[in-house]
Amino acid sequence: MPDDQVVLITPHRVAMRGTESKPTRCNALLGDVGQGVRCTLYEQRSSTCREFEASWANGEHNPHCDAARSAHGLPPLMPPVLPSVSPERVA
C-alpha cells in the first residue's frame, strides 16, 4: 500500500485516507457511489478491503454490506435467483 494513501491510526494500524473520519470516502475510490465506482489501488488494496465481501458474493449474506449500502441510500443486495432445474432435466 503506498504510504501517501494511508493515515496512521495506532502505531500498528493504518487506514486508507478518507476512511478515518465522517463522511467516509476512501481516496482510492473513483466514481460516484450508486452510479459506478472502482478502486484505483485494487491490486494493492488493504487486507480490510480484501476481506470485505459483498452480500451473496460467496452465497452468504453480509449485513455489513447492507449497512454500507444503506449509508449511501442504496438498497441491500438480493440473493441471486437460481433456476429450479430438476436432476432429470440436466443433460
User: Is 62 a domain residue?
Assistant: yes
Number of domains in the chain: 1
With bands split at pLDDT 50, 70 and 90, how would you rate the model's confidence at 18?
very high
- What mean pLDDT comes out for the span 20-45? 91
User: Is 88 a domain residue?
Assistant: no
User: Is 33 a domain residue?
Assistant: yes
Q: What is the largest CA-CA distance in the chain?
A: 60
Please give the Cα distance from 78 to 63 (Å, whole number): 12
User: Is 83 a domain residue?
Assistant: no
User: Is 8 a domain residue?
Assistant: yes
Inter-CA distances, 33 with 69, 73, 81, Å: 9, 9, 25
User: Is 17 a domain residue?
Assistant: yes
What is the value of pTM for the model shown?
0.71
Q: Which domain holds residue 70?
A: 3-78
